[in-house]
Structure 1
Amino acid sequence: MVEVIQTPKRGNRMFLAWATVVLVVAIAYRIYLHATFTLIFGFGRVIQPIEDFPWDCERIQHPLLEGCEDVWLDHSSRKLYGACTSLRSRTGWNPGGSLFNVSARSRTDHISVLNIDEPGPDGLYGLHQLKFDYPGDLDLHGFDIKRIGDQQHQQRFWLINHRPPVDPATGEPLNPRKVGANSTIEIFDLEASSSTLVHVKTIASEAIISPNNLAVANDGVGILVTNDHDEKAGMFRDRVIFFGGGSLTYCRSDTGSCDVVATENCSFPNGVVRGRDGRFYVSHSASGMITVHEESDNGLVEVDSIPLNVPLDNLSVDKEGNIIAAAIPHSVGFMQAADDPYNRVAAASVFMVRDRDRTDGDSERFNYETVKVIEDRDAKFLPTTTVAVHDAQTHRLFLAGGFSPFLSVCQRRI
């Protein structure tokens, strides 16, 4: 008697193989990616209408207020500065967003200025732009400003400049999709009586990988830079959005030296500010976290973290020392608005992070409290927001966006 042994058919074997792959992927997703996908795509997130908040808002539209990725409020001079460009340029040449169309560059990037207490009859707050004493073009992103000099009458600007890459030997253009942007930090000075930014220095370094924003230390020399990606270019560059990555680089204004000082807990580092307490606060877009860092003899040390559980963009500091965070509650809507900024506006949120009143015995885990300041689910008044600043003196918010054709001003109802 012959025993017949049944062997699995090829189709069964393929089914088992694919089932195993699906199971492994499902387990990996559940363990490693579920929280990330939930955060980025906002599964289950409730986005509130602007009517829920005590603000009256208006939009200010002008070509000089297009594409303002970052703004900075000088509380003493009562001026608001913005790093702006045309939307055609921002949606084509934006290395932080892996957009490398050199031909889209407007070559008209500028610093816009508003006198925030003087709206004027046209409601444009004396809007004008600064001139540049600089030999080349600027492709602006994040920036910081600090008063310098004995009388503090002079302002120093540190600007991120995403220059197109060129061959250092021949000066011939290189393909940015292969090598990335030639990003630098440009330092300028502005006299109180002048409207011209005078170039002081260029800082270039391999440690300036993919700079998004920067913050200047209290000494006016140190600069902390956020690199939102691990590489300047490449097919898998944007894996950082789902798998984390990026780094922090520390540069010196005097020597021009730069070093990567942190990679741990980096998850698309985006905004960075120096707080009134001298600490650096860094927002991470892919984790919804703000990390807190101190300078020490051992370098930069992470001393705290603040979960906001929503994708974050730029940060600012108000006069009372509160950290203001621009957030992206609807990532898909944000990407759609970035692709079609004249016809689409994304939902926006703004949070305030402040020191929590503590009593003896409180855990060090709870050093901060977060408050949702405003949210615009239906994009009625706020721009596709990448930055917000709070003027504590007049209880106003100024909001701008790198992919927005307008700026918004909101007055709190007292």
Structure 2
Amino acid sequence: VLHKMFIAAANRRPANTNVKPDGIYVLDLTTMAPPHRLATTYTRGLHPHGLSLWREDTLLYLYVVNHIVEGDFVEKFLYTGSDTLQHLASYSSPLMCCLNDVTATGPSSFYATNDHGSRAGFSRKMEDYLNIGRASVVYFDGSQYHKVARHLNYANGIYYDRRHDKLYVATTTGKALLSFTIEADGGLAREYVLDLETGLDNIDIDRQGNLWIAAHPKMLNFLKHAADSTNFSPSQVVKLTPSEEGFDVEDVYINDGSEFSASSVAVSTGTELFIGGVFDHKLLRIKLNK
């Protein structure tokens, strides 16, 4: 078992220069030493967003959404245990205009979310203000790109459940979790929509099969926080436990933002919960009740 946590870190407040460089950081969960940045053999700038791991035999691949001047890319790295990630490939397509998150489905295939239908300009603003569903999911099968889900409201986190061969997508302005079954060609068949009445962000699944989703319960507060860090944005972590009826839903963490603002990811180790945020340059570590 690899007792490490990989963190995609990017400074989303450019005026704040007193922070560590963008990149992939690793946290040793055994020693709990401060996270350190991994070097890479990648030669362009790395400004990561979503991140996904794929283990194939003894190999561990990292897929990372990267936002650079040239556009949005998915970068593929190999982690060998050293402090340097080996860059293996860059993936780009006109179908991947506005990448948010990625989830690997094999050593050379993945799904990724576009959180908008337009990269910039008036139409992108209208998507936000009028809550127009133009977000999408793209599948890369190893050679070709396919748009496999359309008309979503700010598709954000995405997670491939390897044990059950299902795909989950979190929508932020849609405030719902979408569950898809995967067809033989990689296409998606929508299974159900679970309305959670909060702005969902990233998804993680623990060893027991529970879903952990970080969320933004007050989107207007989030926008104010994005504009000014002194404005708090409430944080929320929702745990979904599989049941015969679907899922039992539980709020594991909720805060007005004074302790931790704008939670965007939650990862459970079984005994502890680690929460990351959109803007905060820290992780929140919480003991979980048995």
Q: Is 1:227 aligned to 2:140, yes or no?
A: no
TM-superposed CA distance for 1:162, in Å, is 1.1
Structure that is richer in strand per residue: 2
Which whole-Å CA distance do the structure 2 matches of 1:311 and 1:156 have between them? 29
Q: Is 1:164 aligned to 2:89, yes or no?
A: no
Match of 1:273 among 154, 159, 162: 159
- Aligned partners of 2:10 and 2:49 also within 8 Å: no
Which whole-Å CA distance do the structure 1 matches of 2:288 and 2:223 have between them? 29
Which whole-Å CA distance do the structure 1 matches of 2:78 and 2:159 have between them? 20
Amino acid at match of 2:41: D
Q: Is 1:367 aligned to 2:255, yes or no?
A: no
- Aligned partners of 2:11 and 2:279 also within 8 Å: no
Amino acid at match of 1:401: G
Amino acid at match of 2:288: R
Q: Is 1:390 aligned to 2:268, yes or no?
A: yes
| Closer/same/farther in 2, CA of residues 226 and 108 from structure 1, 3 Å limit | same
Matches within 5 A, 1:296-335: 296-297=183-184, 299-335=187-223
Which whole-Å CA distance do the structure 2 matches of 1:87 and 1:301 have between them? 35
User: 3-state DSSP class of the match of 2:95?
Assistant: coil
2:8 counterpart residue number? 83
2:277 counterpart residue number? 401
Larger Rg: 1
| Closer/same/farther in 2, CA of residues 87 and 226 from structure 1, 3 Å limit | closer
Amino acid at match of 1:321: G
Matches within 5 A, 1:166-245: 182-192=71-81, 194-217=82-105, 219-241=106-128, 242-245=131-134
1:283 counterpart residue number? 170
Match of 1:110 among 8, 15, 23: 23
Which whole-Å CA distance do the structure 2 matches of 1:315 and 1:198 have between them? 26
What are the ranges of 5 or more consecutive residues in structure 2 without an aligned counterpart?
A: none
User: 3-state DSSP class of the match of 2:122?
Assistant: coil
TM-superposed CA distance for 1:349, in Å, is 0.6
User: 3-state DSSP class of the match of 1:334?
Assistant: helix
| Closer/same/farther in 2, CA of residues 405 and 340 from structure 1, 3 Å limit | farther
2:286 counterpart residue number? 410
**Cα shift readout 1:3-23 (whole Å, capped 9, x = no counterpart):** xxxxxxxxxxxxxxxxxxxxx
Structure that is richer in helix per residue: 1
Q: Quick one: percent identity of the two aligned structures? A: 24
Which whole-Å CA distance do the structure 2 matches of 1:134 and 1:222 have between them? 20
- With a CA cutoff of 8 Å and minimum separation of 6, indicate the structure with the bigger relative contact order: 1
- Aligned partners of 1:345 and 1:404 also within 8 Å: no
Which whole-Å CA distance do the structure 2 matches of 1:190 and 1:108 have between them? 20
Amino acid at match of 2:62: F
User: 3-state DSSP class of the match of 2:86?
Assistant: strand
TM-superposed CA distance for 1:142, in Å, is 0.5
TM-superposed CA distance for 1:213, in Å, is 0.2
TM-score if structure 2 supplies the norm length?
0.91
TM-superposed CA distance for 1:107, in Å, is 10
